[in-house]
Amino acid sequence: MDQKKKILVLGGTGYLGQHLLVRFSVEIKQQQQKYDLAFTHYSTPPQSLINEISPSIAFHVDLQTGQGLDSIATTFGKPDVIVNCAALSVPRVCETDPTAAMAINVPSSVVKWLSNFDESVLLIHLSTDQVYEGAKSFYKEEEETFPVNVYGKSKVAAEQFISANCSNYAILRSSIIYGPQTISPIAKSLPIQWIDSVLLKGAEVEFFHDEFRCPVFIKDVVDVILTLSKKWISDKKQMKLLLNVGGPDRLSRLQMAEAVATVRGYNTSLLKPVSASSVNRGVNSPADISMDISKLSQTLGIKPTPYLDGVRLTLDATPHS
């Protein structure tokens, strides 16, 4: 009898998806866990990723329509855990195309597909801190959501849809995720690497002093997902969980940049504080969506990496041009 548990990562070629697949693959190769691994992609998966996470199965899936999902059940079988990393996550893009934002970010096709199986499947879904209004500090999970942009609204709609239609789920409200580049570099600019690249030029750069987040190190997000997956596989107890997943530090955009400058030894006088209201980004952005992460620590025993330590780890893996 095949004892291997099946893990399916939706959006496996994105930033979180790649890091997650590599980590699952490491556990398989070290024989710490017996998993069968599969992932979905919309465009052709990069060969470097496939080589790194072999053996795994890649499936082409259109998550807006659900086309391609049925072939997963036929070829791979019923997953034990599904991790949904797929999203339209650039707020400005969501603002210009709200229909696409809702279609992609609300996983209705996935949830409908899940209804074909029994209740022994866990859906781990990535949400966002942008479900909060941004009018206070350290939001708790039970506080009312009040998003100020289409991206946040689409994520609230997703949370509501999942909680109403899924038997077992874990919704993770993630802050800005930062860390080293992926095996196959993604086109989207990464926060620490972008700050590093602009400060390296030696010119003055403006950063918001009044917009606050709790940036979270990629390894910590992966740890949360692995811990939840293992907990589900070992316990098989009903799970309906909502967690804030942020780092331990409430930081302004300016403070995030100052940490990079400190680690790299750049001249901090190049960093110019400005108000977020002074720039028109084409989308409303919440001012302070820092999160209380005490539930994360209490539930899973995970203590996220301090930001300065995470910056050092990220830059250690980033060549200094």
pLDDT tens, residue by residue, 263-315: 999 999 999 999 999 998 889 999 999 999 999 999 999 999 999 999 999 99
Residue type, 41: H
What whole-number distance in Å separates Cα of residue 148 and Cα of residue 60? 33
Residue 304 is predicted with a pLDDT of: 98
The mean predicted confidence, pLDDT, of the chain is 95
Cα Rg for the chain, rounded, in angstroms? 19
CA distance 210 to 318: 28
Helices marked H in the chain: 15-29, 47-52, 69-75, 91-96, 98-105, 108-114, 150-165, 191-200, 218-235, 253-264, 294-300, 307-316
Phi, psi of 247 (to 5 degrees): -80, 175
pLDDT tens profile 83-112: 999 999 999 999 999 999 999 999 999 999
Chain segment 37-86, per-residue pLDDT in tens: 999 998 888 888 988 997 889 999 999 999 999 999 999 999 999 999 99
User: What confidence score (pLDDT) does residue 29 get?
Assistant: 84
Task: Give the whole-angstrom CA distance, residue 199 versus residue 210.
Answer: 20
Angle at 278 between CA 100 and CA 139, to 5 degrees: 60
Position of tokens 């596989």?
A: 233
84: left (phi over 0), alpha (psi -120 to 50) or beta: beta
The domains located in the chain, with CATH, are: 5-182+215-247+290-305 (3.40.50.720)
**Sign of the torsion formed by the C-alpha atoms of 317, 183, 152 and 231:** negative
Residue keyed to tokens 């069968």: 36
What does the alpha-carbon distance between residue 135 and residue 189 come to, in Å, rounded to a whole number? Answer: 27
Going by pLDDT thresholds of 50, 70 and 90, the confidence category of residue 2 is low
Which H or E element spans position 78? none
Higher pLDDT, 120 or 133: 133
Q: Work out whether strand 81-84 and strand 57-60 pair parallel, antiparallel, or are unpaired.
A: unpaired
Residue 32's pLDDT band (boundaries 50, 70, 90)?
A: low
- Token pair of 287 as six digits: 């001012």
**Beta-carbon contacts of residue 79 (< 8 Å; ≥ 6 apart):** 6, 7, 8, 38, 72, 121
pLDDT for the residue 320: 62
Q: How confident is the model at residue 1 (pLDDT cuts 50, 70, 90)?
A: very low
Q: Are 72 and 8 in contact (CB under 8 A)?
A: yes
CB 37 within 8 A of CB 23: no
Does pLDDT of 226 surpass 70? yes
At 251, the amino acid letter reads L
Q: What average pLDDT does the segment 172-201 reach?
A: 96
C-alpha dihedral, 196 to 197 to 198 to 200, nearest 10°? 80
Task: Measure the CA angle with vertex 235, ends 234 and 236; round to 5°.
Answer: 105
Residue predicted with more confidence, 122 or 3:
122
Region 139-168: mean pLDDT is: 98
Round to whole Å and give the CA distance between 53 and 20. 10
CA distances from 237 to 150, 223, 227, 312 (A): 34, 20, 14, 38
